[in-house]
Amino acid sequence: MFNLSRWILYPVLFIVGLASMAIAMAAVVLILTYPNLPSLEILTDYRPKIPLRVYTSEGHLIGEFGEERRAVVRIQDVPDIMKQAILAAEDERFYQHSGVDAQGVVRAMLSNLLGGGKRQGASTITQQVAKNFFLSSEKTYTRKLYEALLSFKIENNLSKDQIFELYINQIFLGQRAYGFGAAAQIYFGKPLKDLSIAEAAMLAGLPKAPSAFNPVVNPKRASLRQQYVLRRMHELGFIDARQHEAALKQALVVKRETNEYAVHAEFVAEMARQIAAERFPEDVYTRGLRIYTTIFKNDQEAAYSSLRRGVLDYDRRHGYRGAEAYVEMSDIKTEQDEALDELLQDFHDSEDLHPALVLQADAKQIRAYRRGGEIVTISGDGLKFAARMIDDKAPPNKRLRRGAVIRVQTDEKNNWRITQMPEVEAAFLSADPQNGAIRSLVGGFDFNRNKFNHATQAWRQPGSSFKPFIYSGALEKGFTPASIIRDEPISISASVTGSQAWEPKNYDGKYEGPMRMRTALAKSKNMVSIRLLQASGVNFIQDYITRFGFDAEKHPPYLTMALGAGSVTPWQMVTAYAVFANSGYLIQPYVVRDIQNEKGQVLAAAQPVTAGDDSLRAIDPRNAYVMDSMLRDVTIYGTAARASATLKRRDLAGKTGTTNEHVDAWFCGYQRTVVGCSWIGFDQPRNLGNGETGGTAALPTWIGYMARVLKDVPESFMPQPEGLVALEIAGSGKGPAKELFYKENVPTEMEPEAPQDQNDKPLD
């Protein structure tokens, strides 16, 4: 008789036996493996790699250095909508399971067996923490076993909120961002607490594939992933139908520009990084150091925008040079082809100068593609700058045609126009003349294009901007502002120069005969400067200029020194002009105020010495006062008269500079509270163009900066020191005028007038 029970019992017993063996083996593995799992100290004593961060004096972030960009946040500071978006995207049962989600595993297995498509994973947030902190990314059964065991151990030792906090701060989210705090700032320029539902969903979609769903690199795929997260949030009841619909419609503004900080101060941030790396070389990029610089946000913004405006104005004056490059477009079929973004990947935005790819061009209109899918149309006035390069007669390697890479910019009416990346470079920096604290520094037009810091590293000829130091030395040799010097041609024979005859000229080629020293400086007369140097002694002046911080060896003792033929940096020029601004003290500029650890404890701090300290005395206070009065004349009626006329104030002082062959253009000057220097020129020195003088090319940047930072600063003038007398002298066609003299240098035929209180009053 057929024994049905036996046929049923034996297989069941066999299966039970196999299961028992599997359980026994699993128990053995667990017993042997669990005690050998790594310690959780790395989690309980979480010390993430915190990058070096650089701030303005007021605390605005301007730079971050380190492999991992991270902003650690506490779980209680993470908004609910961000937590919900993460749970919806990654682990909806996080607060229910014990580290491994059995339901999720079964669901993934069924999906993988029946779906026949993409394999689905079932890693929980706890498992991802285990993997990120302890395991490799290899996909093996052994690693998955360790991952599961570690997850159980983590769940037994940490609370759910502790685990969630670790995940939120450690997970990689693309763009070198580790953690959602950093990602919110990098992708949207805001802290977590300010994220919208749509933005939170976009970030929550990143952990699955940070590269594939990166909204900067792959906006379309990122949008699809975001839509999935929003749908899951709605299905789980985290958001209602109205919120879901509104989030889907919200147009996200993803940060694409190269600068990610409150203000453009890349050159300052790099200077600070170098200082910190030299002081703390071991772990400078991982221990969370904070560097507070001396710059002010308002000053830096003013310097940056003014320099760029000055450079772009110069560039437009010299015409359009044609297409920046060409790309092959034969495989492009539509205007929305994703390959268009790839063609533009090597061309980066420079603030508001956006690269664009010409799709179609004729004399009336250009259609161009901008990264991200935007089609811009340029016509009318927007084409004028580039009109000659649209014509068929334009050079083939510069003509604007399909495949040309151009730069586009919006004008004041928000219409697109063609522009270009300038070839010329520039620098501007400003400082407090009382203590040397750098208030702003821009070392070039675009740090991402050219990291060479022209403000501190560019050794260039100063031209006429060097003349004040010759004049200051002449005052010490007994000259006065009223001294008469001949503005007449000079010829130095070859026997004297030792090489060839030297016949210098005035900039304009004109000579006005005998004139007062004050007038000669205002008009920047080369012949007068040469004669002053000759009379004072070149060796004396070479030594004298070191009082202003110049290197003697950079200024050989020849008469060409009078024309600024030596070498200086803008940093040195600010240092030197500060001596006139602060009544004669040589201060040392500095850009880092202090360096703090992650707890805010000061590890190193600047120790500036302030003007007024006798150890800093560089020149006679009377010399500084007289030079100040003469340099103010330069900005009132001299080569920089545009400064006082534009800013409507008479307490500005400075000097223009244009070197031989128009290679460098300068303006260095000050108001008593701030000293600044502007330079413009090419990296490979060449002619800036006729008419491009210091007053034309460099002064506008200085004026633009001062207009903003002096807006609410009242006029003030240097108090007159003892030992000076004011005398009436014969005027130049305008009747008597007052002039200043050292007491010991008063001309004998003149009777000194009773000195007047000139504090806070300009010398007329």
Contacts with 337 (C-beta within 8 Å, 6 or more apart), sequence order: none
- Residue 537: Cβ-neighbour burial (10 angstroms; 0-12, 13-18, 19+): middle
d(CA 563, CA 546): 17
d(CA 357, CA 408): 10
For residue 89, CA distances in Å to 166, 227, 252, 716 come to 17, 11, 19, 62
Looking at the DSSP assignment, which residues form a beta bridge with residue 409? 417
pLDDT at 376: 94
Q: Provide the token pair at 419.
A: 């522009």
Sign of the Cα torsion 296, 301, 302, 308 reads positive
Q: Provide the token pair at 489.
A: 């041609």
Q: What is the DSSP letter of 696?
A: I
Contacts with 509 (C-beta within 8 Å, 6 or more apart), sequence order: none
Q: What is the DSSP letter of 691?
A: T
- Residue 345: Cβ-neighbour burial (10 angstroms; 0-12, 13-18, 19+): exposed
pLDDT at 60: 94
- Residue 415: Cβ-neighbour burial (10 angstroms; 0-12, 13-18, 19+): middle
Contact call for residues 169 and 73 (beta carbons, < 8 A): yes
| Widest Cα–Cα separation across the chain | 151
Q: Provide the token pair at 525.
A: 């007369």
Contact call for residues 188 and 109 (beta carbons, < 8 A): no
- Counting as low any pLDDT under 50, the low residues of the chain are 1, 32, 117-120, 733, 750-764
For residue 385, CA distances in Å to 318, 321, 368, 481 come to 10, 10, 16, 47
Contact call for residues 178 and 184 (beta carbons, < 8 A): no
d(CA 541, CA 561): 9
- Active-site positions read 90, 464
d(CA 204, CA 82): 8
Contacts 24+ apart (CB under 8 A), 498-506: 502/559, 502/560, 504/530, 504/563
**Which of 451, 427, 452 is CA-nearest to residue 441?**
427
Which pTM was predicted? 0.84
Contacts with 361 (C-beta within 8 Å, 6 or more apart), sequence order: 367, 390, 400, 401, 402, 404
Contact call for residues 595 and 291 (beta carbons, < 8 A): yes
For residue 400, give the H/E element and its range.
none
